[in-house]
Structure 1
Amino acid sequence: MSRRQPSLKRPLIIKPLLFQLVISLVTFTIFMALLLRIDGGGHYVDEEMTKVVAEAITRRDDGSLAVRMTPDLETLRRAAPDLWFLARDEQGRLISFGKVPRQYAQSHALLADISYAHLRDGSAPYDLTAVIRRERGPAGTLTIIGHGKITTVTLTVALFSNLVVVPIFLILALVTIVMTPLIVNRALAGVTRIAKEAEGIDANSRGTRLSEKEVPREIEPLVRAVNDALNRLDKDYHRQRRFIASAAHELRTPIALLQVKIEAADAATRRQLSATVARLANLTEQLLDLHRLDQNLPDTVIDLAAFARRTAADLAPLLIAAGKSIEVQVEHPLPIMGNVGAIERVLTNLVQNAVEHGGDRVIVRVQDASFEVEDDGPGIPPEERDNVFDEFYRLRPRSTGTGLGLSLVRQVVEHHRGHVTILDAPDGGTIVRVSFQPC
């Protein structure tokens, strides 16, 4: 079971989210520590007292304010024996409760303009620590300044306050999850483009290189390395092709000399050597065909029906002399664009291959933009159908072929953007089908 490749989601989404959460918690903690002055002066009056006071203040018939001892106010007084407050309504009427410090006794003017404040005493017992809030109660809207239960802010309280960060983090997470794939896809658009370019590179598109434009700087060394590798492959490919062409041309001369000497030899020697020389000559031509394949582009419109009949007519005398037969069947032929010599070699090789492997009756069938060669030989086992297209592979050890025929067929067909398949014939034997794109 192959290992799955790591995804970019973890480094680009999950890790930034965790980083944002940690930074948010740390930042908020520091902010709270500074804001609330945890190091000292962290004592303040519980704000809930102003709500209790507002509910306890009523209005008399003459409009003046009065304090009634509600259960909540009684509880507040027991919790803070030094409880005091001063309240002012919207008409400026005042009411006080408890011992109001002289510093706040004349603060009614202050209550007219300020609706929210915390006042802190600098040292214990914090008698001047107070809170100002504007509240609504039975007597209407009141602005209240008061001193009650003192609360001390600790680091623990500040850390619990980080719960405020959770909604912020969830929003950041949602934005990150939605936006990060869009940002990543946009940033890696160049990578996607060069991946498509790479898919189009094959043996028939040598010289093509991956574009380095609009590629992320981090990916650029990889693209450059791939292009360098393609350069080296092209050089090796051309070196191999030059070797094949040179070898084939060098073989032609000794083969020609052998043919001359055979013709001058006696009949027995001539019969013995003619077949061997013919095989050498065929091997030489096939090597040259591999070289010519790159030099000749598919640039001619080919009528498959006429082409098949002409090739079969050229091969018929040889097949008849060997006691074989060949037949051409045509149905709805379509023209294709190709190189006539290369396609002729494909059909010739397929017919010769059918005859060499035991076929007595060969049928060349043309249909649409494809042709197929059917024989009545022993057939090709399914497990061998991919191997027979390899160079110098022989299905049977005693085969008289060179081992290049079907390899050349596949290369020519792929050069023409077509494909070749091997099938079972209905009555036994083999069908080799070659399909092209109609022009």
Structure 2
Amino acid sequence: MKLLTSKSLKRRLIAQLLLFQVGILFLFSAAFVAYLLQTNDGVVLSDPEFANVAARAIERKADDSLVLNETEELATLRQRSVNFWFVARSDKGEIIQTGNVPTVYAVMAEHLDRISFGDIRDTRAPFSYVAAIRGASGPAGNFTVLGKGDVFSLTYAVFLLTNLLMVPILILLVIVTIIAIPWIVSRAFSRLSVIAKEAEIIDIDRRGYRLPESGIPSEVVPLVNAINGALQRLDDGHERHQRFILDAAHELRTPVAILQTRVETIAEGPIRTRLLSDAGRIAALAEQLLDLQRLDVSGASFSPVDLVEICRNVAADMAPLAIAQGYELSLETGLDHLVIQGDAGALQRVVFNIVQNAIEHGGGKGNITIRIDRGAVIEITDEGPGIPVAERERIFEPFHRLQPHEHGAGLGLNLVKEIMQRHGGHVVAVDGPQGGACFRLSFPN
């Protein structure tokens, strides 16, 4: 039952084929038995074993005459068989008989020297004319015996014979089904395995890819076409989404720039500072959206990039802001150059975003350190409260923020992750040496 309810299509096919073959075999056997019963004249046969019993009971006396001894097996046969009788003829033409021999067979007994084998079936009860002719040997020599012993149903005999023939056929079918059918089904499904592997590599970076339709069973073609259609709709929706982001970001840049210019004309004070800060965040959001769009369409047109120079430039640009917020920003490395293949602008945005994140969440005190290792690893650490372990994966999701009411749109770290993936590297958040947060950027050598 478990085989039939399995979710494996291969197992279900094998089980159903096996049941179908067994059912057909049984139906054929039943039809064959019915056909034999209709085409035969009789419905019962005489068991020929009585001939051997009779031959063993016949003895030759000293005067060379034949005598029938009432042996134990002969007596048992008389009690068991209704209307038991037989006529035995020796090689010398001697005849010995017992029981109520039908008249028609009494005449036939004289010609047993010309008959060696026969089965005579009777079509009507009480089956008085059922008889068998067999050759048998006993103490008195060889005999041809005509008679009636135990009777058995012809239907039972035919059914038994057909079942005996059916057993090896059934075993052969089971072997073929269990061994050959899985191989046949596996070959038929081999192309589906290829398509499954092709589907596994489809992701956001392989937009426009479609599952192959060649060489697959016609029954599966509609499913593949439906999947390809869904992929096309997803690509169209993604393209509309990206186009909207690009248009919105471009549209934001001009009014934000105008807003910043007008705010700068306001007299110094808390309101001017707050407005400039808010306008700056809106401008940063627009730039991040544009960065994501540029990253999506830029492809892999990389060139040699010096990571040491990028970190040095970011440290120089961000130092005044860090100092103003109460931090000390430092660059630690024993390398003069560390060159990899990449996009200089995108990698500078990575380091900039992480340093900016440290300034915003580092607690307003302590050191922010940019450390470059020879193994193409950059670590940016702070001495703030750190990042909870449960949030270290989610902080890289778009629009995710540790605190619901904190500033920013939650795109900076997502942009970092996307850029690192485009460069074949990865970024992780771990505990810093001073208890704060540590962002480790690993690049392929």
Q: What is the TM-score with the length of structure 1 in the denominator?
A: 0.79
The separation in 2 between residues aligned to 1:420 and 1:136, in whole angstroms, is 99
Is the Cα contact below 8 Å between 1:42 and 1:153 reproduced in 2?
yes
Q: Give the secondary structure class of the aligned counterpart of 1:187.
A: helix
How far is 1:376 from its partner? 1.9
Partner residue, 1:119: 120
Partner residue, 1:108: 113
Q: Which amino acid aligns with 2:182?
A: P
The separation in 1 between residues aligned to 2:437 and 2:33, in whole angstroms, is 84
The separation in 2 between residues aligned to 1:220 and 1:94, in whole angstroms, is 83
Q: Which amino acid aligns with 2:287?
A: E
Q: 1:178 to 1:346 in 2, by over 3 A?
A: same
Partner residue, 1:151: 151
Deviation string 1:112-136 (CA, Å, 9 cap, x unpaired) is: xx6xx53324556655533355667
Q: 1:95 to 1:386 in 2, by over 3 A?
A: farther
Matches of residues 43-192 of structure 1 in structure 2 within 5 Å? 43-53=44-54, 55-56=56-57, 70-77=71-78, 79=81, 81-86=83-88, 96-98=95-97, 100-103=105-108, 105-111=110-116, 117-123=118-124, 126=127, 128-133=129-134, 144=144, 146-153=146-153, 164=164, 165=166, 168-192=169-193
Partner residue, 1:425: 432
Partner residue, 1:313: 312
Structure 1, 224-233 or 279-288: larger mean CA deviation: 279-288
**Is the counterpart of residue 35 in structure 1 residue 39 in structure 2?**
no
**Is the counterpart of residue 297 in structure 1 residue 296 in structure 2?**
no
Partner residue, 1:215: 216
Structure 1, 30-39 or 310-319: larger mean CA deviation: 30-39
Matches of residues 200-211 of structure 1 in structure 2 within 5 Å? 200-211=201-212
Structure 1, 247-256 or 411-420: larger mean CA deviation: 411-420
Q: 1:134 to 1:316 in 2, by over 3 A?
A: farther
Q: 1:190 to 1:374 in 2, by over 3 A?
A: same
Deviation string 1:20-41 (CA, Å, 9 cap, x unpaired) is: 4444334323322332459961
Q: Which amino acid aligns with 2:403?
A: R
Structure 1, 245-254 or 334-343: larger mean CA deviation: 334-343
Partner residue, 2:199: 198
The gaps in structure 2 that reach 5 residues or longer are: none
Is the Cα contact below 8 Å between 1:297 and 1:339 reproduced in 2?
no
Q: Give the secondary structure class of the aligned counterpart of 2:348.
A: helix
Q: Which amino acid aligns with 2:107?
A: R
The separation in 2 between residues aligned to 1:380 and 1:23, in whole angstroms, is 69
Deviation string 1:39-63 (CA, Å, 9 cap, x unpaired) is: 96102111322443455578999x9
Partner residue, 1:230: 231
The separation in 2 between residues aligned to 1:279 and 1:125, in whole angstroms, is 111
The separation in 1 between residues aligned to 2:374 and 2:171, in whole angstroms, is 64
How far is 1:228 from its partner? 1.0
Partner residue, 2:416: 409
How far is 1:237 from its partner? 0.2
Q: Which amino acid aligns with 1:233?
A: L
The gaps in structure 1 that reach 5 residues or longer are: none
Partner residue, 2:285: 283
**Is the counterpart of residue 356 in structure 1 residue 360 in structure 2?**
yes
Structure 1, 26-35 or 400-409: larger mean CA deviation: 26-35
Q: 1:84 to 1:326 in 2, by over 3 A?
A: same
The separation in 1 between residues aligned to 2:204 and 2:255, in whole angstroms, is 32
Deviation string 1:304-340 (CA, Å, 9 cap, x unpaired) is: xx31x11221122244323222324479x99765434
How far is 1:206 from its partner? 0.7
Aligned counterpart for 2:387 among listed residues 380, 385, 396:
380
- Aligned-residue sequence identity (percent) comes to 38
Q: 1:7 to 1:65 in 2, by over 3 A?
A: farther
Is the Cα contact below 8 Å between 2:66 and 2:96 reproduced in 1?
no
How far is 1:202 from its partner? 0.6
**Is the counterpart of residue 343 in structure 1 residue 342 in structure 2?**
no
How far is 1:244 from its partner? 1.0
Is the Cα contact below 8 Å between 1:392 and 1:403 reproduced in 2?
yes
The separation in 2 between residues aligned to 1:366 and 1:143, in whole angstroms, is 110
Structure 1, 259-268 or 274-283: larger mean CA deviation: 259-268
Q: Which amino acid aligns with 2:408?
A: G
Q: Give the secondary structure class of the aligned counterpart of 1:211.
A: coil
Q: 1:82 to 1:397 in 2, by over 3 A?
A: closer
Structure 1, 144-153 or 281-290: larger mean CA deviation: 144-153
Q: What is the TM-score with the length of structure 2 in the denominator?
A: 0.78
The separation in 1 between residues aligned to 2:42 and 2:375, in whole angstroms, is 94
The separation in 2 between residues aligned to 1:334 and 1:109, in whole angstroms, is 113
How far is 1:200 from its partner? 0.8
The separation in 1 between residues aligned to 2:83 and 2:42, in whole angstroms, is 22
The separation in 1 between residues aligned to 2:208 and 2:202, in whole angstroms, is 9
Q: Give the secondary structure class of the aligned counterpart of 1:426.
A: coil
Is the Cα contact below 8 Å between 2:46 and 2:130 reproduced in 1?
yes
The separation in 2 between residues aligned to 1:281 and 1:182, in whole angstroms, is 63
Q: Give the secondary structure class of the aligned counterpart of 1:147.
A: strand
Is the Cα contact below 8 Å between 1:302 and 1:336 reproduced in 2?
yes
Q: Give the secondary structure class of the aligned counterpart of 2:347.
A: helix
Q: 1:176 to 1:278 in 2, by over 3 A?
A: same
Is the Cα contact below 8 Å between 2:87 and 2:147 reproduced in 1?
yes
The separation in 1 between residues aligned to 2:10 and 2:291, in whole angstroms, is 51
Is the Cα contact below 8 Å between 2:314 and 2:348 reproduced in 1?
no
Partner residue, 2:400: 393
